[in-house]
Amino acid sequence: MKNEKFTQDEYDALDEVKRGIKGDRVSACVGRNSKRLSGLKLISIARNGRITLTDKGEQTIFLRRCVLALRALAEQPGAAIDADVALFLGKKSHILERAEGGFDISDKGRESLADILSQGH
């Protein structure tokens, strides 16, 4: 996967599609971003107009959550992070469990975060 850069508005649209679109009309946020997100194969638009998140879209949201968790832990060790994100980052040795509970970002995690931030994400 190329290093695509997404705006907060595009991430908001992905989150909205993940939660499920109620009714027949999409929000302005999803409407503004649907063409690009569909072109990048992050969302799928069926013939009947139904919009769903693709596996690639799910992965994009998850990776974003991982980066946000690393940022939070870099700023505040022990910050609350989601269990699925903690499991993934722990397997990758990006975070370490703290004796007092919660997690710290590891040196490997700091290097990865610095690399991500240097790319403008």
Specify whether the CB–CB gap between 61 and 16 falls below 8 A. Answer: no
The per-residue pLDDT of the chain, averaged, comes to 92
Q: Can you give the residue ranges of every domain in the chain?
A: 8-53, 59-118
Comparing C-alpha atoms, which of 49, 48, 53 is closest to residue 20? 53
25 falls in which pLDDT band (50, 70, 90)? confident
In this prediction, residue 1 carries a pLDDT of 41
50 contacts 70 by C-beta, under 8 angstroms: no
Q: What is the pTM of this model?
A: 0.87
